[in-house]
Amino acid sequence: MGGDEQPKRSSERSPGCNDNLKVAAASGSAFKAVRDHKPVWMLEDMRTMEYFYWEENASLRTYSPSEALLYAVVHNHLPYAQYLLSHFPEEALKVPGEHFCYCPSSAPHLAMAVTYDRRDILGLIIKIAHKMPSLNSYINRTGCFHLEDGKTPLHLACELLRSETVLILLGNGASPRIMDSKGLTPLDVILEQMWDSKVNVASKKLCLDYLLLFMPNPQFKMRKVLQDHPEHWTALLGEDKFNSLVGNTPASLYLQAMQTILQSLPPSHFPKSIQELPIPQALKPLPSYGKKLQTKNVVNAFP
C-alpha cells in the first residue's frame, strides 16, 4: 500500500487521535520526513534534535521512539520501523506521551498497524512483543473506553474485515473472547456486519471461519439474533454452521480437531508451527504476509 493511503473504517474513530498526531508533528518536520520515506539516519538525526513545543507548558523536547514508530506505521516506512523496534524495543512500544490521546493500557502502534493495513510492520511489532515479558498481554490490550469503545486490535481487524490480519492476530495469541465496552466479542462484530449488510460477504465469512478455529464453544451476544431468525442465518451460513453457533449441534469433527491442535501450539511460533502440521496444505490456516489474499479461493475452506 502507498505511504499516504488512508484506511477505510466501518465505524467512526475519534478525530482527536489524528489531530493530536498532527499537532505533535507541527513543531518540526519529522512527520513529513517519515511520510517522504527519508533515510533512517536522517530521520534519527531529526528525531533526536530538540525543538520548542508551543503550548502552555512549553519546553524543549525530542521525539520519542514511540512517537517515531507511530509515524513510521502511518506512512508505511518499514526500514524505519525495523530500526526503531530493533534498537529501542521497549521504548518504541510504550504508549506515546501526553500529546497523544491514548490510554496507558492501550496498544496504539498495533492498532495503527491494523487500521492502516501495515501487515509487515504488524508482524515486527508482534515479534518484539513475544520476546518481552512486560508485553505478555500486549496483543490483547484494549483501546480507550471513552474514545474507542475498549476494542482490542482483533475487534478492529474484524470491524475493518481484514481477514488476513484477523488470522495473524489469532495465531499470535489474540483472544476472540474479550468483550469491548458494549459487551461485544470480535465474533459479534462480524455477525453484526453480516446482519446489517450483504456487502463483502466473502470477507465476513472468512473472518468468521478464522475466529471459530480459535474459539471452541463460542459465547457471544448475537446468538439471540441467530436464534430468532433461523431462516436468514441458515441461508447465509449453511445449516451445519448455523446449528453449531446456536448450540443445536456440535461443531464438525474437522473444526473440533483443528481447535484442539491450535490450542496446543505456542503463539510465538506462528505461522511456522502451522506450516509444520502433518495435514494437507489446503487445510492449513496460513497468512500470506504481504501477498494480497484471494478470498474467493479460501472462503468456506474450513468445514
CB of 94 closer than 8 Å to CB of 86: no
DSSP-derived 3-state class of residue 52: strand
Residues 6+ apart with CB under 8 A from 105: 141, 142
Tens-of-pLDDT digits for all 303 residues of the chain?
444 444 444 343 344 444 444 434 444 577 889 999 999 999 999 888 866 455 555 555 678 999 999 999 999 999 999 999 999 999 999 987 655 555 655 899 999 999 999 999 999 999 999 999 889 899 999 876 545 688 999 999 999 999 999 999 999 999 999 999 999 999 999 999 999 998 999 999 999 999 999 999 999 999 999 999 999 999 999 999 999 999 999 999 999 999 999 999 999 999 999 999 998 898 899 987 533 433 333 334 444
| Three cell numbers written together for 88 | 529501542
- pLDDT at site 283: 86
Stated pTM of the model: 0.82
- Chain centre distance of CA 208: 15
| Three cell numbers written together for 284 | 492449513
CB of 107 closer than 8 Å to CB of 153: yes
| Three cell numbers written together for 220 | 457471544
Residues 6+ apart with CB under 8 A from 280: none
**171 vs 118, 129, 132, 157, 210, CA distance in Å?**
17, 14, 18, 14, 9
Q: How far apart are CA 122 and CA 187, in angstroms?
A: 21
Q: How far apart are CA 45 and CA 232, in angstroms?
A: 59
Helical ranges in the chain per DSSP H: 15-25, 30-35, 40-47, 65-74, 78-87, 89-92, 108-115, 119-131, 145-148, 153-159, 163-171, 186-196, 201-213, 223-228, 230-237, 239-246, 253-264, 272-275, 295-298
Any idea what DSSP says for residue 282?
G
Any idea what DSSP says for residue 61?
E
| Three cell numbers written together for 200 | 463483502
CB of 289 closer than 8 Å to CB of 123: yes
The burial class, CB within 10 Å (0-12 / 13-18 / 19+), for 35 is middle
CB of 107 closer than 8 Å to CB of 96: no
